[in-house]
Amino acid sequence: HSMMDTEIMLIPESDGIDLASASSNKALGGTVTASWSPSSFDHADDANDGNLNTNWSNYTNFNSDDWLQLELPEAIRVGKISIINKVGPNAGMHSFDLQYMHNDEWVTLNTYSSTRQGRNREVIEIDVPNITASKWRITNFELYPGHNCVGIYEFQVNAPIIKSNYN
């Protein structure tokens, strides 16, 4: 496995998902904003509420360069980012760029793709190679054919698991 491999974990829609607890999901202490959201539903903060019944989307106004941004209270070393993708009659994100802010410029870590067309609540897990940052975003979206927007249930950030030498 190279550092850039994306592990895809599929969770059946009917199963309960054990969302990362607040202690490990550092995103829950942060603020999510988006380039655009519908006025009365699917707001940006719905992608950071620990609730898989709510999501952000750019429904009715999709642009590939839209973005969903997470700002943490402080820069932390990130070990993993998980994007929980919504796939339904409208939402169907196929790929996106993951970016982080470094010296006031967005740096693209890589482009990642969903591998499960038509499967809702796919967890796209990205191992992050030792990057410390407070701002992360996904952008440069591509959709599956026949879909018209991006939908994101959760944008999660996890610190690396520190292994002790004193076990």
Q: Per-residue pLDDT tens for 41-96?
A: 999 999 999 999 999 999 999 999 999 999 999 999 999 999 999 999 999 999 99
pLDDT tens-place string over residues 86-127: 999 999 999 999 999 999 999 999 999 988 766 899 999 999
The answer for 121, left when phi > 0, alpha when psi is -120 to 50, beta otherwise, is left
pTM of full prediction above 0.85: no
- Between the alpha carbon of residue 147 and those of residues 11, 15, 91, the distances in Å are 21, 25, 6
48 phi and psi angles, rounded to 5 deg: -150, 45
163 — pLDDT class (breaks 50, 70, 90)? low
